[in-house]
Amino acid sequence: MPWKEGPGDADIEKIWWAARVLHFPKLNVSCWFDGSDLVGIEHWGFRRPQWCMKLKPADWKPLPEVYRLAREAEKQAAVDLFRATSNERFLRATQRRQSEREASAV
């Protein structure tokens, strides 16, 4: 099985866009799978960050622009939802503290 060692700053998702990542915190490893095939592995934590990956498939094509934009929009929507819920919690906590101060001042 041919593996190619890449530089530590390379991003596997730019090369192997169909791969999905799984993180294993107890092992200090992230693995990328294309279906059931392991196509990349990254060691992190106690070791120096490095990654290895299989050679690109012979019929490799870049991720179509439509799918890339859809993925970016999905990620941005998740970030926006997180920000909205955290801001809402912050505002509720602030209002609760202010109402407690007003009640104790009287």
For residue 59, give both structure tokens. 């019929």
By three-state DSSP, how is residue 12 classified? helix
- Could you state, in chain order, the average pLDDT of each consecutive group of 10 residues for the chain (106 residues)? 43 75 85 85 70 71 84 91 89 83 69
pLDDT of residue 77: 94
CB 39, CB 16: distance < 8 Å: yes
pLDDT of residue 11: 66
Tell me the whole-structure pTM to 2 decimals. Answer: 0.42
CB 22, CB 31: distance < 8 Å: yes
What sign does the CA torsion over 6, 8, 9, 13 have? positive
